[in-house]
């Protein structure tokens, strides 16, 4: 079992990135942030520390996208707002 596991959501909208909910071991900490109605993607920055002696490991996970918007258009939007996108896989 890990000693630490967190996730932070980020929602991509036509106006840029909106910070979403933060979770610790899958339980939202603080207020739940509802996905904006105009969101096109939701990404989660996951982290885990497997032991007190190990470093945190981070990875990005696409958790939701608006299927009515093409992958090409979503990619263009990520390029327009690169603050987080440069860290994503692929």
Condensed to tens digits (0 to 9), the pLDDT of residues 20-75 reads 999 988 888 999 999 999 999 999 999 888 878 878 788 999 999 999 999 999 99
Regarding pTM above 0.85, the answer is: no
In sequence order, the 6+-apart residues with CB closer than 8 A to the CB of 80 are none
Considering the domain boundaries, does residue 18 fall inside one? yes
Given a cut of 70, is residue 2 above it in pLDDT?
no
* CA pair distance 90, 86, nearest whole angstrom: 10
Considering the domain boundaries, does residue 90 fall inside one? no
**If pLDDT is split at 50, 70 and 90, which confidence band does 12 have?**
very high
Report the pLDDT value the prediction gives residue 85, as an integer from 0 to 100. 64
**If pLDDT is split at 50, 70 and 90, which confidence band does 17 have?**
very high
Which residue in 83, 9, 87, 16 sits closest to 46, CA to CA? 9
- Which residues sit opposite 49 in a β-bridge? 4
* CA pair distance 80, 15, nearest whole angstrom: 10
The total of structural domains in the chain comes to 1
Q: Do residues 22 and 6 make contact, with C-beta atoms less than 8 angstroms apart?
A: yes
Given a cut of 60, is residue 87 above it in pLDDT?
yes
Give the pair of three-digit tokens for residue 58.
């981070």
Domain span at residue 41 reads 4-85
């Amino acid at each position: 079992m890990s000693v630490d596991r967190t996730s932070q959501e980020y929602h991509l909208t036509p106006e840029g990135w909106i910070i979403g909910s933060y979770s610790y071991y899958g339980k939202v900490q603080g207020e739940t942030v509802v996905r904006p109605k105009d969101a096109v993607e939701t990404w989660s920055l996951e982290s885990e520390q497997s032991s007190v002696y190990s470093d945190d490991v981070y990875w990005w996970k696409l958790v939701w996208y608006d299927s009515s918007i093409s992958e090409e258009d979503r990619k263009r939007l990520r390029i327009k707002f690169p603050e987080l996108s440069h860290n994503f896989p692929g």
